[in-house]
Amino acid sequence: MSYYRKPPIFDLGELNIENLFITDFMPLASGTYVKVYLLGYLFSKDSEPQYDHRMLASMLSLPLQDVHDAWQYWEKQGIVTRHLIENSKDYEVEFHSLRSLYIENTFASDNKSHSNKKVKPTASPIVDQTFKQLNHTIEKLIGQPLTFKDVRDISDFYDNYTHNTELIIKAFEYSYLTKGIRKTNYVKATLELWLKNNLTSSEEVDSWLSISEARQTTYKEVLKTLGVRYRQVSASEASTIDKWLDEYGCSSDDLIKILFELTKKTMNPNFNYIDNVLSSLKKSGSVTFLQFEKQNSEFSQAKATGESKPNRKKNYTIEKESNYSEEELEALLLNKKPSRGKQ
């Protein structure tokens, strides 16, 4: 299968679209936004502008609000800039050269708007060697050329999150290579999480990841011991397990052993029941498996002692009854009033 083009018989005009728009921007946008961009781009080629947003909406059979939403979207992507018209709520739309943006690693055009106003960049220009080296390192790391979207996202990380290039590179390494998730959105979420936990170096990240992965393993073991399989731990369950490990000071191994013993005695013990048991251990000293066994042993002994105590009331009754003579007992059996003291 191939694609080819038949030469036109009549020249009715032609619209040249940059390849970067087709390969990097169009696949991620909604069809409505793409239609608005293309027709607006066609309007921008007219030497005598006579179109507005209402006409564009009418030609595409779209609500006017959809057109405004589309321009807001493309402005956030950094490929157009909206310029407010003086003494009006309306605005003009300026289209940027995607090739220039890619080559210069910037989101502003040097061209001037129709109103001779200087174009305001949508993000800070990144032209320094540090940023260029960052892009080069990431390209080598992930084994593929960076797209315009990748460069724009890296610029966002560098400008708005951190200038710590080591941390940004580590986030790409973790996302693309370790987790196998080759999306800059995942890199962004990873970077946000690390910054939230005040991580600033690869060593700190490795240490934190080791602890985090160990904790995830404990979560799975707890659910498995309780007979819960094939699902992730919920946020509330994770918070409770964290309390047992961090606040109560119970080790992962001891926790699993305690839970295993509890499941022998109680059908489907819930988290509240387990928390009460561990809280009791905490009050008595330490939350360990040895302390759990000791407490269980003391409870069993106390229970056994309580069961072996004589029933004083019963013995007293028997003792009273044993004071009757044979004659008195016989009279009781015959429902007669015993005559005490008579011979």
Poorest-pLDDT segment among 104-113, 137-146, 236-245, 317-326? 104-113
Give the residue extent of every domain in the chain.
19-104, 129-200, 233-305
Quick: pLDDT tens for 265-278.
Answer: 887 789 999 999 99
Report the candidate in 241, 237, 248 with the shortest Cα–Cα distance to residue 218.
241
In terms of C-beta density within 10 A (0-12 exposed, 13-18 middle, 19 or more buried), how is residue 305 classed?
A: exposed
pLDDT recorded at residue 126:
38
Percent of the chain with pLDDT over 70: 76
Quick: pLDDT tens for 153-169.
Answer: 888 898 888 889 999 99
Which residue has better confidence, 186 or 297? 186
pLDDT of 116 above 60: no
Percent of the chain with pLDDT over 90: 36
The secondary structure element, H or E, covering residue 92 is strand 91-95
pLDDT of 104 above 80: no
pLDDT recorded at residue 90:
84
pLDDT recorded at residue 276:
92
Q: Whole-model pTM above 0.75?
A: no
pLDDT of 103 above 80: no
CA–CA dist 288, 253 (Å, integer):
9
Which residue has better confidence, 325 or 31? 31
Average pLDDT for 196-209: 91
Report the candidate in 192, 159, 210 with the shortest Cα–Cα distance to residue 184.
192
pLDDT recorded at residue 303:
65
Quick: pLDDT tens for 218-232.
Answer: 999 999 999 888 788
Q: What does each C-alpha distance from 84 to 47, 49, 114, 207 come to in angstroms?
A: 21, 16, 11, 50
Q: For residue 142, how many other CB atoms are within 10 A of its CB?
A: 16
Quick: pLDDT tens for 38-82.
Answer: 999 998 887 666 788 999 999 999 999 999 999 988 988 888 999
CA–CA dist 296, 90 (Å, integer):
77
pLDDT recorded at residue 10:
64
CATH topology of domain 19-104: Arc Repressor Mutant, subunit A (1.10.10)
Average model confidence (pLDDT) for the chain? 80
Poorest-pLDDT segment among 11-15, 17-21, 116-120, 337-341? 116-120
Band the pLDDT of 316: cuts 50, 70, 90.
very low
Token representation of residue 42: 């066609």
CA–CA dist 47, 50 (Å, integer):
9
Token representation of residue 226: 């309780």
Give the contacts of 250 (CB within 8 A, at least 6 positions apart): 244, 258, 278, 287, 288
Q: Are 206 and 194 in contact (CB under 8 A)?
A: no
The secondary structure element, H or E, covering residue 83 is strand 80-84
pLDDT of 205 above 90: yes
Band the pLDDT of 124: cuts 50, 70, 90.
very low
Torsion of CA 76, 78, 79, 82, to 10 degrees: 60
Which residue has better confidence, 281 or 12? 281
- In the chain, % helix, strand, coil (3-state, to 5) comes to 60, 5, 35
Q: Checking phi first, is residue 202 left (phi over 0); if not, alpha (psi -120 to 50) or beta?
A: alpha
Half-sphere exposure of 51 (CA within 13 A, CB side): 17
